[in-house]
């Protein structure tokens, strides 16, 4: 691990935490799905995945899930966040590895899989598959939210790359 990678990881973790905490302060986007969030902190994880690779981004993901879960006052949130986050992370890493085009599309796939992961955790907790009925709505919401995060990440990445080119 180079000092540069460590510094970038720390900055992206800080951004992920700040965005995650801010998002927890916002009212629910969809009142009937109070825990459905857009996932602003995941933008930093996706940027880390693009810029730094899987190991660094995985550290950011796990620390983000654990720290926000501990400070939110809902420790079970850690399991839901990790369940969704790991599945989302895996699909995005695979799509980036195989060269899939379009950060928004990759992020949308991640958004869908994040909700699938959370539903699987909910089924494990409740012991009932009936929770899976929510997946219809959550998958749609995850695709839209993931697409929005993907557009944000695309433009941040583009801006940073242009700024780096200008320095050369």
* Domains contained in the chain, number: 1
User: Is the predicted pLDDT of residue 168 greater than 70, yes or no?
Assistant: no
- The answer to whether the beta carbons of residues 147 and 108 sit under 8 Å apart is yes
pTM of the complete model beyond 0.85? yes
- The answer to whether the beta carbons of residues 56 and 48 sit under 8 Å apart is yes
- Counted residue by residue, the chain has a size of 168
Q: How many CB atoms lie within 10 A of CB 19?
A: 19
pLDDT of the residue at 75:
81
22-30, long-range: CB < 8 A, 24+ apart: 24/68, 24/72, 30/141
What CATH number should be reported for the domain holding residue 88?
1.10.1760.20
Q: Which domain holds residue 54?
A: 3-167
User: Is the predicted pLDDT of residue 22 greater than 70, yes or no?
Assistant: yes
pLDDT digits (tens, 9 = 90+) for 60-108: 999 999 999 998 877 888 999 999 999 999 999 999 999 888 999 999 9
Q: Find the angle CA(40)-CA(28)-CA(90) to the nearest 5 degrees.
A: 40
pLDDT digits (tens, 9 = 90+) for 112-140: 999 999 999 999 999 998 888 888 888 99
Of the chain, the percentage scoring pLDDT greater than 70 comes to: 97
Q: CA–CA separation, 95 vs 107, rounded Å?
A: 10
Place of tokens 């969030």: 37
Q: CA–CA separation, 154 vs 112, rounded Å?
A: 18
pLDDT of the residue at 77:
87
């Amino acid at each position: 691990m180079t000092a540069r990678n460590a510094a970038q990881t720390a900055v992206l973790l800080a951004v992920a935490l700040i965005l995650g905490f801010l998002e927890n302060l916002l009212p629910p986007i969809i009142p009937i799905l109070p825990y459905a969030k857009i996932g602003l902190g995941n933008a930093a994880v996706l940027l880390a995945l693009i810029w730094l690779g899987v190991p660094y981004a995985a550290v950011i993901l796990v620390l983000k899930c654990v720290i926000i879960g501990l400070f939110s006052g809902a420790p079970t949130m850690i399991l839901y966040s990790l369940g969704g986050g790991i599945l989302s992370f895996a699909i995005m890493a695979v799509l980036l590895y195989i060269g899939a085009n379009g950060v928004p599309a990759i992020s949308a796939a991640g958004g869908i899989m994040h909700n699938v992961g959370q539903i699987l955790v909910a089924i494990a907790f409740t012991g009932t598959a009936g929770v899976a009925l929510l997946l219809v709505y959550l998958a749609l919401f995850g695709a839209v939210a993931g697409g929005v995060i993907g557009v944000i990440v695309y433009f941040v990445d583009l801006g940073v790359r242009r700024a780096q080119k200008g320095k050369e």
